[in-house]
Structure 1
Amino acid sequence: MGINIPAETAVKILQRLGLSLVGRPTDEQAHFRAPTYRRDLTREIDLVEEVARIYGYDKLPSDVVVPLCTSSKSQRERIVERIGETLTAVGFYESMTPAFTSAADRQWFQPRGDAAPLSVDHSSRRQENLLRQTLIPSLVGSRRANERQGNFGVKLFEVAKVYLAADPDREEREVEPWMIGLVAGESYVDLKGVVELLAKRVNPRSEVSVRPSSIGQFTPGRGAEVLLNGELWGWLGELDRKICDAADLRDGVCVAELDLERLEQTADLVPRAERLPEYPG
């Protein structure tokens, strides 16, 4: 910011704003837990801005050179970028959907069975008051909205969080995992090819396989669990016609949902060249 604000002053400002101090602060760093109603406070810079706002913008000099440093994309950011490039290249459009869904829409896809969803009791959320456990119902709703506007055959994807539990003592990947959701009017075989392409684009040596799935929303015999290098990665299949009718879809759809972190664990974005065999045979 161009000025030095005493650490004790900064801590008091953040505490008065409702943040809880975690551990003992030092002159170099302090850890805080933001209140649930301050969803905008997710990064260190967000706290810096709050301190500056309360301390007073008028006290910040306008003629001081602020030190800057270069930054680079994180591994996850590069993987998400690679996913977007790959899917848009094969005709998909990225979608951004709300994290809430309704009890009726939730029935369209339940890969984790009947696990009770998290809900919000608020006057503004009387109908769509459930936190999604999967991205698929939201994407199916987006496809339906496109069909109603005459955009038939649209292929959609989203990379976002789902919400499985409210337990601050468990790791984020267990309670709020990042998933990759795909919805398209393609056949099971075609969408399986897209899933395999995603894996290969992140690591050319990845091996994708499938095994039968018992998810009730799939057409019998046309649903599978997807394995990445032998470990569960997600689900892939054709939605049953009764689900498409309940969602008011004209055309049938095939869906896939994949664990982003599982893909990230296998990442090799810059593979090394290997010497070709001198005597192939």
Structure 2
Amino acid sequence: MNVTRTTPPRPLDVAAVFPQLGPLARPAMRLHPRPGSPSPYDSSIGGPLLWPAHQPWLYCDMWHEGPAAPMLPVAQLYARDVPLLRPPGRADLLQVLWCPFEHPPEYKPPTKLFWRTAADVTDVLAAPPEPSGAEYDGYVPEPCVLAPEQITEYPDFLELSRELQQQLSDVSAWRAAGVVVDDSYAIAPQEFYGRELSVAPGWKVGGWPPWGLTDPVARFCVACGAAMSPLLTIPSYEWNDAGKGWVPYEDQARAAPGDDSASNPPGVQVSRGNHLQLYVCPKFPGTGHPHTDLIQ
């Protein structure tokens, strides 16, 4: 199944209006999961993994009652489909699994990452274990195929310098550049930046992380101290009513308020409506330098 999704262009080139943003631009790849029947040889959300038959499946036996729970596939991403991955060494495949139960103290589903070389997996596990339970249905992703699309992002408003925050919050600075600010944003034009011009919602690789539950928190590799990079955003929706400008052209006819079937095809709900952000060490991903994650 070939899926295409196209994000509408942003209402304006914000870096032309505020040149200080130009050096802060980052590529991101929106994954656009949509209902389908992926195989182990496809990139997917919630689909079957290219898992070696000889490798034991992962189970989690902590923090919940009953027998050990099998960890569940969350994402499988081939570098051919998502070139922003930059996998280590010969690897060309990223697999992400999680326990479908929240673990204290942060009360989030713990994740595991595997970087693989697909050609090395010649005997694929035929029957991975079925979910034995979950804290919420939203921790059992529905299988989805992907329509990766590269875009450009700018930092969340909270990550900007105080000077830039002040400029973006001043409607006269926008008007001086010839930008007509909608009346709904006239009092707080920084919300226009935040909702329509900076960080894209939804499943994505790379780019800038979303903030809101907390102020920005730098993440550092516990093995080498390097500043960690955003790898994957696992969201609770592809868009919401405040960010309808990010709805792909192909979905706009179905983007009715509150329609989760359109805005959340995998059915994932992270910590009751938040996002799980995965970070990796940019120097040594997948080589003993553990990833970290954060709920936002």
TM-score bracket, shorter-length normalisation: under 0.3
Taking structure 1 as the reference length, the TM-score comes to 0.26
Greater helix fraction, Structure 1 or Structure 2: 1
Larger Rg: 1
Taking structure 2 as the reference length, the TM-score comes to 0.25
**Whose RCO is larger (CA < 8 A, sep 6+)?**
2
